[in-house]
Amino acid sequence: MPTHPLEQLSVQFPEGVYADVRFERTIDHSITLRDGSLDDVQSKTETGALLRVLKGGRWYYACTTDLEKINETLVELAASDALAGGGPADVTDRYKIHQDKVWVFDDERVDEVPLKDKIDLLRLHAKQLERPSIKTWTARWIDQHRDRRFVSSLGADVSHDYQEVGFILRFSMVQPEQTLQERFTQAGHRFSTLLSDVDAHGLELNATLDKCERFVAEAVPVEAGPVPVILSPEVAGVFAHESFGHKSEADFMLGDPAMLEEWKIGTQVASPLVSIVDTGDQFGSGYMPYDDEGQKTAPTYLIKEGVLAGRLHSAMTAAALDEAPTANSRAISFRFEPIVRMTTTFFEPGTETKESLFSGVKDGYFIETVKHGSGMSTFTIAPGLSWRIRDGKIAEPVRIAVMTGTVFDTMGEIDGLSDQVELPFMVGGGCGKMEQWPLSVGFGGPYVRVRRMKVA
């Protein structure tokens, strides 16, 4: 295996303090077609580092693209007296020291794929958007290759890479009294995967467009009220991420005794059928073998059989709450300090087949896609494509403006999960927190049946 440039960099750490450096090299490409014309092509390559020094219970940070001054900057940070002490005197006992190299994508780097090949593949799929029913459309290609290396004064030295490649087709269908804005997305870790699946993706796109044409022509508003609902894996994943995952990020708990009591480990918070996991070791858009403090990722149960089982931590939040770290310290780039973030968050599967899950609903709704969602103790989900369920079968399309509820009540109403998990690979967006957006994350699950959800 060739030596990566980031592995050739040498760091001399100052004595008497803990310090670490996160090196990063990122190559991004994007291509945009708009209504048939090539609208934009962008390429960006950036190499830099985030430096941290822990002194007197305070973190001192600096980011730089001048890698020749790393050692000099570390000395300056170690000599700083600008801040009074405040945080835990020492969080370093929470760190496990790893030395590892996890280069997964050297066999096919997407930044080495010719631009023409990417444009050709994008045009091939975008051609299907030239339908009379579609008023406007945008096709966007996105790829990224990122190399990272983390080294610390305690002896940690881990290197790993991440890669994503995919396209997003956004389109608007218009009828006299109805407008539908939807998207079609395909993504993966390698360009060759998208090429080999081109025919299958074409058939799936065609079926999606047919479905959308039916929806915009026939969808009727729902009657407001609580009804049985089945969530697709995508929607279930958004619900798990927005309504439960964020509240499991431990930095929200700091300085809030009431929240800590409400979210006390061991509390029954959901139906016994429900287990939710967060993990960075799952390939997909949330893949991250080591977090940005050099900690090895592994599955963390947030809910285990309906009981609150854990929360997500950095070393700092783990020390503050006297709990074990979970390798969830992440940043969107070397320009930002790492904070507690999710990786891939999903419902574990149940025992029912998809067919038996639907057969348990005499009259309700199937939520197939989602526009957006938000929530903490309460949640709001804006559905996209939605369908009436009649006698266990998907029937006519319906328009649902919003679904709302309280997290714990809704979790308690889950009465069935299908036996297969789906984790959609997402590009072109991500999770936002504080000023850091977008961060690549994964989410998903099985089909999830909820006894009652409030729709309007």
For the segment 197-233, what is each residue's pLDDT rounded down to a tens digit?
999 999 999 999 999 999 999 999 999 999 999 999 9
Give the residue among 347, 356, 401, 403 at the shortest CA–CA distance from 380: 403
Beta strand pairing status for 157-175 and 134-152?
A: antiparallel
Q: What is the pLDDT of residue 1?
A: 57
Phi, psi (degrees; rounded to nearest 5) at 279? -155, 145
pLDDT at 83: 60
Instruction: Taking residues 421-439, report their average pLDDT.
Output: 92
Q: What is the pLDDT of residues 297-345, one digit of tens each?
A: 999 999 999 999 999 999 999 999 999 999 999 999 999 999 999 999 9
What is the three-class DSSP state of 402?
A: coil
Q: Which one, of 368, 361, 373, 371, lies nearest residue 214 by Cα?
A: 368
Residue 238, both tokens: 């958004």
Q: Which helix (H) or strand (E) holds 323?
A: none
Residue 272 pLDDT grade (very low, low, confident, very high; cuts 50, 70, 90): very high
CA distance 151 to 353: 47
Q: Judge whether 55 and 20 are in contact, CB under 8 Å.
A: no
Does residue 98 register a pLDDT over 60? Answer: yes
Is residue 220 a contact partner of residue 213, using CB atoms and an 8 Å limit?
no
Q: Is the pLDDT of residue 252 over 70?
A: yes
- 360 alpha carbon, distance to own chain's centre: 31
The pLDDT score that the predictor gives to residue 85 is 58
Residue 374 has pLDDT above 90, yes or no: no
142 pLDDT more than 60: yes
**Band of residue 429 on the pLDDT scale cut at 50, 70, 90:** confident
**Nearest partner of 143 among 45, 237, 50, judged by Cα:** 45
Quote the pTM value.
0.95
What integer is the mean pLDDT of 280-293? Answer: 97
**Could you tell me if 187 and 166 are in contact, meaning their C-beta atoms sit under 8 angstroms apart?**
yes
- The whole-number pLDDT of residue 175 equals 82
Instruction: Output the pLDDT for position 178.
Output: 84
Average pLDDT over residues 368-391: 89
Which ranges in 309-377 belong to alpha helices (H)?
A: 315-321, 354-359
Which residue type sits at 156?
A: A
Q: Is the pLDDT of residue 367 over 80?
A: yes
According to the model, what pLDDT value does residue 241 have?
A: 93
Distances (CA, A) of 51 to 24, 43, 238, 313: 12, 26, 33, 20
Compute, in degrees rounded to 10, the torsion defined by CA atoms 353, 367, 344, 32: 130
DSSP assignment string, 23-72: EEEEEEEEEEEETTEEEEEEEEEEEEEEEEEEETTEEEEEEES-GGGHHH
- What are the tens digits of pLDDT across the range 107-137? 999 999 999 999 999 999 999 999 999 999 9
- What is the average pLDDT across 251-267? 90
SS3 356: helix
Mean per-residue pLDDT over the chain, rounded: 94
Average pLDDT over residues 271-295: 97
Instruction: Report pLDDT for 89.
Output: 56
CATH topology of domain 5-218: PmbA/TldD fold (3.30.2290)
Condensed to tens digits (0 to 9), the pLDDT of residues 52-90 reads 999 888 899 999 999 999 999 999 999 988 665 556 557
Cite the residue boundaries of each domain of the chain with CATH code 3.30.2290.10: 5-218
**Which three-class secondary structure state does DSSP give residue 217?**
helix
Among 32, 31, 81, which Cα is nearest to 56's? 81
Taking the C-alpha atoms of residue 345 and residue 28, their distance in angstroms, rounded to an integer, is 25
Percent of the chain topping pLDDT 90: 86
Checking if the pLDDT of 236 tops 70, the result is yes
Q: Where are the beta strands (DSSP E) in 96-177?
A: 99-102, 134-152, 157-175
What is the pairing mode between strands 344-347 and 442-444?
parallel
Query: Three-state DSSP class for 186?
Result: strand
Residues forming beta bridges with residue 314, ordered by sequence position = none
Q: What are the residue ranges of helices labelled H in 250-314?
A: 257-262
C-alpha span between 393 and 357 (Å, rounded): 10
Q: What is the pLDDT of residue 58?
A: 87
